[in-house]
Amino acid sequence: MSSGLGRRNHVRPMRPKPVSVRALAVVIGLAALLMAGWAVLAGAWGQALFGVIATAGAIGLFSPHPRSRYIVYASSLLMIASWLLVVAWVAISGWPYSDVTSSVISLIPGLLLVLLWVGASLYVARHFRQSPPA
């Protein structure tokens, strides 16, 4: 199959995704749906939007199409950027804790989510770099 520009529209066949990729997709998907649900109930539409974006990233992990990795990358970038913006906004407007221990502890959940998204992106990149079995 070729396009009008003389290039072939060929998508390299995907190798089957390992169970670990699917498990990662389930964890991200469930967390994102939970976040979106709570955000809708609270009327926090911005957070609900990020839950939907994260759900799209989880769906991208399940997709057999090689271009689905870009959904995962975009979701990761948006989630990490939003967390960094919120932390910066809180720091500028007045950090709620005066002691270092409470401040560090308050950042741990967000840092764990950042690690999850970075890890998901790196894992997906590694998965897609490997060639399919012959």
Quick one: average pLDDT of 10-37?
A: 77
Quick one: average pLDDT of 81-93?
A: 88
Q: Which structural domain range is residue 30 located in?
A: 19-129
Inter-residue long-range contacts of 51-55, CB under 8 Å, 24+ positions, other chains counted: 53/78, 53/79, 54/28, 54/29, 54/79, 55/29
pLDDT class of 74 with cuts at 50, 70, 90 = confident
Quick one: average pLDDT of 59-78?
A: 80
pLDDT at position 131: 58
Average pLDDT over the chain, rounded to whole?
79
Number of domains comprising the chain:
1
* pLDDT at residue 8 greater than cutoff 80: no
* 31, part of any domain: yes
* 14, part of any domain: no
* 11, part of any domain: no
pLDDT at position 129: 75
